[in-house]
Amino acid sequence: MKPHTFLLSAIALILALSAVSCSKTSQSDAEMNACIDSIMAKMTLDEKLGQLNLPAAGDIVTGKASQSNIGRLIAEGKAGGVFNVKGVEKIKELQRIAVEESRLGIPLIFGMDVIHGYETVFPIPLALSCSWDTAAIRRSARIAATEASACGICWTFSPMVDICRDPRWGRMAEGSGEDPFLGAAIARVMVEGYQGDGLKKNDEIMACVKHFALYGAAEAGRDYNTVDMSRQRMFNDYFAPYKAGADAGAGSFMTSFNLVDGIPATANRWLVTDVLRGMWNFDGFVVTDYASIAEMRQHGIGDLKVSSAMALAAGTDMDMVADGFSGTLAQSLEEGNIDMGQIDTAVRRVLEAKYKLGLFADPYKYIDAKREQTEVYTEANRTEARRIATETFVLLKNEGNILPLRKGGRIAVVGPLADTRANMPGTWSVAAVPEKYKTVVEGIRDAVGPRGTVTYAKGSNLYADPALEAAVTVFGRQMRDPRSEEALRAEAVALARSCDVVIAAMGEASESSGEAASRTDISLPDTQKKLLEALLATGKPVVMLNFSGRANVMTWESAQVPAILNVWFGGSEAADAIADVVFGDVSPSGKLTITMPRSVGQIPIYYSQLNTGRPKNNDAQFEKYLSGYIDSPNSPLYPFGYGLSYTTFSYSDFALSAHDMKSGDTVTASVRVTNTGSREADEIVQLYIRDIEASTSRPLKELKGFRRIHLKPGENATVEFPVTVDLLKHYNYELEYVAEPGEFSIMIGPDSRTLRSATITLH
């Protein structure tokens, strides 16, 4: 064979092989690389930039998608994916345009904000975290993935893992609370739940860990606001959940809107490349948040062209909505401000994601109209959602054991949240179908059945001020009653007088939290407080159901109302789940994953605080020259980890298997927990550690373990926590992850305030 003939045959063979490897679902790196090499060799610069573009979908009408703006973009190879389109037919049509009409036929990736379920909506993430039930949270993500994928979605913008210690920030609702250890555990199981067994099956979808990074630390709790913190705090208090997501193999990350060290996260090379890819070995792709490249102009960094080049150079791969990559990178390349290698790297990462999802082998892998009919909002999924919801409610107070109520007698259900379907699922439930969900009144009524009467009166609007109410009842959730607040209240009071007990469904509307829903006053609006006061004045027992997407200030309520159940937003099955707990079919077991402050003035407030040089007894009143307030104790109203049950638990026999440790040792910390009440229930046992002597100041306590156990009346269990040297580590000043010799205090208890402790010395 002549040399050139040999060369040609070899090339033909390579091309043939790479074509074959694209049609395989194999995940061997060599085959994936061969597939992507073969595609990239054919791509024009425009087509490459198209893969980096994630445009807004707009309103897609089935049957007319090809004439829409997005349809044209796809056909021209100018979109790498589309997001937040609901319905398998629409998605199929868009995919058909990509595969059949674009020159190279590269399939699209379809994303959606499937944050806490699809049509079967689970409790908001903050609520889910209060279950501390990682197995259940993993199942919720699995179910969400199954339903979303049955409708054509292969990529979810979840988990949202931003640590938040400022409840003014509305997006506290979307995360797992204030603690990095618990947050990391939840991030891990959510990624695993979504991605299943490595994206092989058509019900496994790619996770997107967001918002990288520190979005929850916005100054003053104002959404999109500046973040500024030391690297030590980033690594010790905020980064763990993102890292856990990367370690669990999340296929993608989303950058945040905020600054990190003065540079927008989207264009922060230290963050996206050095930390995420360098330190954590993340090998997926990074997408921006919505238009965040364009927003860099407002941050004072530069115009769209400058910002896009900077974002690409930082290691960001895909541009959501800004049209910065597709619109300006060609010019930046020509001007020498970026190079082709940077573009190719980003394109390769996006194509790799599509390959890993199996879209090259079968662009219609997630398109199955039958699955959409049979796998969404099923009985089984709803049962699971209802069960998990019961685990998320936190019983804050239960004076005189008012709860559980008996299923009988005359029950008045009142309050602005009592009879609204649209407000049940909670914020960021893009695929929810509220018409299918029950209201609180319906849930209570169904549970009581013919044994009693359940009557309803609204009692008040959310706010007396219609403008405030309008701000929190957007997206079709309006529920204003035109009557005066006095008239509404009078009606409810009359109803309460005629009943044996009052259930007051109050608090926030679903859109009082979530994106762009920050509040300076996080207490119950005045008109609702007046209603509560009037209901209490009737002398009837009042049970308050607090709907909420954040920690609220409930100082007045906790002094006045005998029973308070924090129900957050419990998802599509919330009404039945509330009835399950209110009537005692299930004992409440949720525990707070955020600190409930006494007043807004205490914010930011979190249990893992540093000691200061002048510490003061947290519950004591003012003392001059100690770290405190003139007008308030430092302690919160309800601490992190707190939650009551219908039974009681006692903790005894706290022990450590040793008091000295050296590298490689494990000490066992144990405690006996006994159900001392009369109902079976779950208890969440918590382990905290303090590093007493360290090279930098360490928190008074940090959660390092938790266990959810179930005990029958009189039953006990010994709960053991292995304390490894790893658990004693922190990031030192040089950002090395180290366990420093010295004393550590090991604490176990039912919440972050009620702890027994003993010390270990690490040699």
Which residues contact ligand NOJ by CB under 6 A? 84, 113, 157, 210, 289-290, 515
Q: Which is nearer to ligand NOJ, 157 or 238 (CB)?
A: 157
H helical segments located in 543-617: 555-560, 574-582
Residue number with the smallest Cβ distance to ligand NOJ: 157
| Residue among 516 and 658 whose Cβ is closer to ligand NOJ | 516
* DSSP 8-state secondary structure symbol assigned to residue 322: S
Q: How far is the CB of 324 from ligand NOJ (least distance, A)?
A: 16
Between 36 and 187, whose beta carbon lies closer to ligand NOJ? 187
Rounded CA separation 453/473 (Å): 30
Position 697, amino acid: S
* DSSP character at residue 385: H
Degrees (nearest 5) of the Cα angle 647, 651, 655? 160
Q: How far apart are CA 61 and CA 559, in angstroms?
A: 54
289 among known catalytic residues: yes
Question: How are the residues of the chain apportioned to helix, strand and coil, as percentages rounded to the nearest 5?
Answer: 35, 20, 45
- State the DSSP H helix or E strand holding residue 172, giving kind and residue range, or none if neither: none
Provide, rounded to whole angstroms, the least separation between the CB of residue 216 and ligand NOJ: 12
Name the residue nearer to ligand NOJ (CB basis): 114 or 492: 114
**Closer CB to ligand NOJ, residue 515 or residue 526?**
515
Minimum distance of ligand NOJ from residue 57's CB (angstroms): 10
* Total count of residues recorded for the chain: 763
Report the alpha-carbon distance of residue 18 to residue 9 in Å, rounded. 14
Catalytic annotation, pick one of 162, 289, 319, 682: 289
Structure tokens at 603: 């914010």
Looking at the Cβ atoms of 54 and 185, the one nearer to ligand NOJ is 54
325 neighbors 295 (Cβ within 8 angstroms)? no
**Please, what is the minimum distance in Å from the beta carbon of residue 217 to ligand NOJ?**
15
Q: In the bound complex, what is the minimum distance in angstroms from residue 644's beta carbon to ligand NOJ?
A: 33
- Distance (Å, whole) CA 86 – CA 573: 21
The CA-based angle 473-475-476, given to 5 degrees, is 80
Q: Closest separation between CB of residue 625 and ligand NOJ, Å?
A: 44
Is-contact 119 578, C-beta < 8 A?
A: no
- Tell me how far, at minimum, the Cβ of 132 lies from ligand NOJ, in Å: 24
Alpha helices in 503-573 (DSSP H): 526-537, 555-560
- Considering only CA atoms, which of 594, 517, 514 is closest in space to residue 554? 594
Q: Which is nearer to ligand NOJ, 255 or 308 (CB)?
A: 255
Instruction: Give CA–CA dist 492/346, Å, rounded.
Output: 60
**Contacting residues for 294 by C-beta, under 8 A, at least 6 apart:** 304, 307, 321, 322, 323, 324
- Residues that are catalytic: 289
